[in-house]
Amino acid sequence: VHGEIKEMEVISCSSYDDKFNIQDIFNKDLHKFWISSGMFPQELVIDLKGVTTVSEIRIASHSIKRIRAEGCEKNSPTSFKALAESEFLHKTDKLQDQSIRINPSERLYYVKLIILSAYDDFATIHNVSISQGRFTNSHYHYN
């Protein structure tokens, strides 16, 4: 399977504000967004609504400096391991639109995004899209 994952849901986030619905990060309307509190790290746990491979996480944001993506291979979000870490370019006049490339060898149920640091006191996420990757049998072991 290849392409963008359509059904996703944020099931946990480290900061919450009624005015900024966390589920809006899957909406293509970039005027709606999630905003962090003023402390870091901040994290979001995304339910992929089934097991899949992930090849890329694309994020439209503002003020994110360093971010890490982690994945969970279990069907409950209990154990995560690092997939990739990235430093985003600082843009003051427009949104950051950057991708985190992931090796698609893991079968994941959940993705956790951890904003490790920001360029300002607050960071925003306007959109997250996750692409499925090709799955190679050479990396899969039946238990």
pLDDT, tens digit (0-9, with 9 covering 90-100), for 90-120: 998 899 999 999 988 889 999 999 999 999 9
Contact 77, 45 (CB under 8 A): yes
Instruction: Tell me the whole-structure pTM to 2 decimals.
Output: 0.89
Question: Which two tokens mark 1?
Answer: 């399977």
Which residue in the block uniquely carries the two structure tokens 């956790």?
112
pLDDT score of 10 more than 80? yes
pLDDT band, very low/low/confident/very high, at 137 (cuts 50, 70, 90): very low
Least confident of 37-41, 61-65, 78-82: 37-41
Question: Which two tokens mark 124?
Answer: 């925003």
Mean pLDDT of 69-73: 97
DSSP character at residue 28:
S
- Which positions ≥6 away from 121 have C-beta within 8 Å? 38
Cβ neighbours of 92 (radius 10 Å): 8
Burial 29-68 (b: 16+ CB within 10 A, else e): eeeebbbbeeebebbbbbbbeeebbbbbbebbbbbbbbbb
